[in-house]
Amino acid sequence: MYRAVIVSAALALGLQSPTTPRKGGNAESAKIKNPVAATPDSIAAGKRSYTRFCAKCHGAEGAGDGTGATGPVAPPDMTDDQWDYGGSDGELFTVVHDGIPKSPDMESYAARMSDTDIWNLVNYVRTLRAKK
């Protein structure tokens, strides 16, 4: 919660957080550890959040083939080995929490999802990669 307040204040002032998502990943975000164990309950909760918030753009199976994205760039395939903004749990969390700067599609979900919900989502997204 405290981190979200600081990030929100920095963004309101036009500053970038040290954990702002960046192409190639962000070393500061990568240091953030997932406090939610990837239990079956966490993964099921993450799947519910994914279905509600993510599948429209990223596709039902995470292949980037959803129909809801409106920007010039297709949503990333979350089942492959290359994740443009880093593949650590902390980087995934930060992309969902903060959104991607200047992206018309990947906005912040901090106001719509709790931190725990986002961590559950991270745990679920990990299973998408494993299915391939």
Q: At 21, which CATH number?
A: 1.10.760.10
- Residues 3-59 pLDDT 10s: 554 455 444 444 567 877 777 788 899 999 999 999 999 999 999 999 999 999 999
pTM, 2 dp: 0.82
Residue among 4, 7, 99 at smallest CA distance from 57: 99
Pull the structure tokens for residue 67: 């129909």
pLDDT above 90 coverage of the chain, percent: 54
As for how many domains the chain has, the answer is 1
Question: Which structural domain range is residue 76 located in?
Answer: 2-131
Q: How far is CA 4 from CA 62, 77, 86, 93, 119, in A?
A: 26, 27, 20, 12, 14
Say what the pLDDT of residue 14 is: 47
Length reported for the chain: 132
The alpha carbon of 104 is separated from its chain's Cα centroid by a whole number of angstroms, namely 15
Q: Which residues of 73-100 are buried (b: 16+ CB within 10 A; e: fewer)?
A: eebbbbbeeebebbbbbbbbbbbbbbbb
Of 51 and 1, more confident: 51
Rounded to an integer, the average pLDDT of 95-123 is 93
